[in-house]
Structure 1
Amino acid sequence: MENLYSLFIEFTTQPVSLNTSLNSTVTFTCEATGVRFIYFNVGETPASETININRGFTELGQDTINGTIRRRQLSVHAREINNNSIIYCSAAPGNTRSDNATLTIQGLLDSVVDLNYTFMNGSNVLLTWKAPYTLDNVPITGYYIVNGLVDITIPNNNTNFILSTTNPDPCILNNVSVSPINDVGIGLSNNISFYYETVYTQ
C-alpha cells in the first residue's frame, strides 16, 4: 500500500542547501502534494526528536495550501555542532523522501593572505592583501587594521588601504595587523612590520 501511495506523491518544494554564518538562524521549507503529513529529518533522525531540538532544530507546524499542498518549515540555529548537517523531509503515507540538503556554517574567518606594503612617499604606505576563503552568500563585511595604538575598521571588502602619518620616525618599527570581519566577528589576524623610509628633499 505504501508503494501505491508513493505514486501520487510530488514534492513541489524541496529543502535546498544553505550557507550561513555561525549563530544565525535559517529556515528550510518543504511542500508536497498527494500526502497527509510531511516532516523533516536531520540525518536519519526526525527533527522533532529531543536530540535535535537540543541542537537548535525547531520543526514548525504543518500548513495546508489550497486544500492539496502540505507545507512545513524547519528553523535551525546555526551552531557549530550543526555544521554540514544533512536535512531532508519525508512524506506519509508512502515513506517518500525529498532530496538531501546540506547546512554549511561559516565561523570566524582565517587570516588574510599575501599581506604586503608599498611605500608611496615618506608618510604614506599602501597595504595590500588577498581575502581569505569564505562560503558563497556569507560575505566579508570589512577589515580591522591595527597600526600601533590606532585601530581602523574598513566597512567594505576592499583589499587595500593607505596608512598615512605625519613626520614618521624611520627608526621606529611599525607593526600592523589586518583581520577580516564577517557577521560572526573579527577573524584571525595577519601581521607585517616595516620602517618608514626617509625622504630627502633638495
Structure 2
Amino acid sequence: MGRPQDLSIRLDKELPMAAGLGGGSADAAAALRLAARAWGVAIDDPRLLAVAEGLGSDVPMCLVSRPVWGEGRGEVLSAADWLPPLHAVLVNPGVASPTGPVYRAYGADPRPLDARPERPADRSFAGLIDWLGRQRNDLEPPAVRLEPAIATAVSAVRADPDVAMARMSGSGATVFGLCGDADAAAAAADRMSRPEWWVRACVLGAPKGT
C-alpha cells in the first residue's frame, strides 16, 4: 500500500474460535478498514481489495461489510442489496471445528458439484427459505463426522417450532436457524440455551447501520 507500518490495533473478539462464522476473516477485514481510514484510502481501492483477497477468500466480502453475492473463491463480488434482513438464531455446541481438518475430510470423499445456483427469483421470506432449502453445505457431513456434537445442534435448531430452516455455517461448528421475525429468533434462542452452548439471536443480511 506504500504506507508506513506504524499502526497499533486492538480487536476484541466476541465469537467462538473455529466456529464457521468467518470471525478470523472479519477481524482481518476490520483491521484493513481501520488502516484504510488512518491512511485515507478508500474501501473500494483496488489495492486494498487485492490485500484482502491475499489474506483469505472470505476477507473481501467482510471488507465490503454489506450483503453481497460471491462467486469464484469468494473474491468475485456483486451487490445483493435485494436480500432482506433475516432474523436468525446461532448455536455453537461448544466444540471447535477447525477449517483445515474439515476440508481434508471433505477432500477424501468429495461430492460432485451441482450447477451454479441462480439467484432467487422470489425474495420474500418464504421464497428465500424455499431457495435455501434447495442448496447445501458440502462441509457439513465431514464436519459432523469429525465432531458429532454438530449433528446434535443441527437437530435441535431444526426441531424448534420458530425455525424455518437450519444448516451448519461454513466449516462449523456453529449452526444457524432462520426465523420469521426478531421475537421468534429470541424465543428460539431462549429455548435452546444450554450451559455448554453459545447461543445468540441476531439479524443476517442487514446493511451496516440498519
Instruction: Report the TM-score when normalising by structure 1.
Output: 0.22
* Structure with higher strand content: 1
* Structure with higher helix content: 2
Q: Larger relative CO (CA 8 A, sep 6+): 1 or 2?
A: 2
Whichever of the two has the greater Rg, that structure is 1
Instruction: Report the TM-score when normalising by structure 2.
Output: 0.22
